[in-house]
Chains A and B, each alone.
Chain A
């Protein structure tokens, strides 16, 4: 069964760090573009970051550049989002999502993780 399970969320103080994980099963991460998308409480979806299918290119929305890092470990078939210098406005449910087509990054997201909740609060 093709699925992704996100984990690592929690309550963290402003300025601290947190690492989110997204473990894939039923498919191999390498070859697929992988994304993080977040949703603040009561708000819409906001794309956060992408790592290209080849693992060589990474892009971020402006508000997290320099603070968040997307990466993957193909041996563990796991996607990560390292978040540092966290702010209250980073509070959201974070979803991992897969590009639908092998070798294509600018694609629809066909598989989503269940989400992991991050709360930044003192």
Chain B
């Protein structure tokens, strides 16, 4: 079955850039979606189909996908960005990455 690999944790200081990776075999050939989940809350879609942002998501959130790695980039990190982030693709079924905890220093 298809496996998505994320780093367990990432940290960034306020105003800096956080980069969260999602590794998978030829993931560049798949559409990748990213979700933000704050403590005790349901996930929220922040990036879909690699690069698109739903309405209401700040432009500070951006995505890319190529080769074996998809990336979520959060520019000018704010305290409110602290959350778990999950990547997701469709293979034979829905697959989620293990999640990355973003800590704002």
Contact = CB atoms under 8 A, between A and B. Distances in A.
Query: Does chain A bind chain B?
Result: yes
Interface of A: 35, 37, 44-47, 50, 59, 61, 95, 97, 100, 106, 108-110, 112-115
Pick the 5 closest A-B CB pairs, nearest first. Answer: A47-B94, A108-B48, A108-B33, A112-B42, A44-B99
6 contacts: A35-B94, A37-B94, A61-B93, A100-B48, A112-B43, A112-B44
B42 A115 contact: yes
Interface of B: 31, 33, 35, 37, 42-45, 48-49, 54, 84, 86, 88, 90, 93-99
A44 B48 contact: no
B45 A47 contact: no
Given A106-B90, A109-B35, A110-B54, A44 B96 contact: yes
- Tell me what chain A mostly uses at the interface: helix, strand, loop, or mixed: strand
A44 B93 contact: no
B49 A44 contact: no
Contact of B96 (A45, A50, A59, A115): A45
Contacts of B96: 37, 44-47
B98 A95 contact: no
Most A CB atoms within 10 A — which of B35, B93, B97, B98? B93
Nearest to B41: A114
Given A44-B96, A47-B93, A110 B42 contact: no
A109 B42 contact: no
A61 B92 CA distance: 10
Contacts of A50: 93-94
Contacts of A59: 93
Contacts of B99: 44-45
B94 A95 contact: no
Nearest to B96: A45
A113 B43 CA distance: 9
B32 to A, nearest CB: 9
Contacts of A106: 90
Nearest to A44: B99
Contact of A44 (B33, B54, B90, B98): B98
Given A110-B54, A115-B42, A47 B98 contact: no
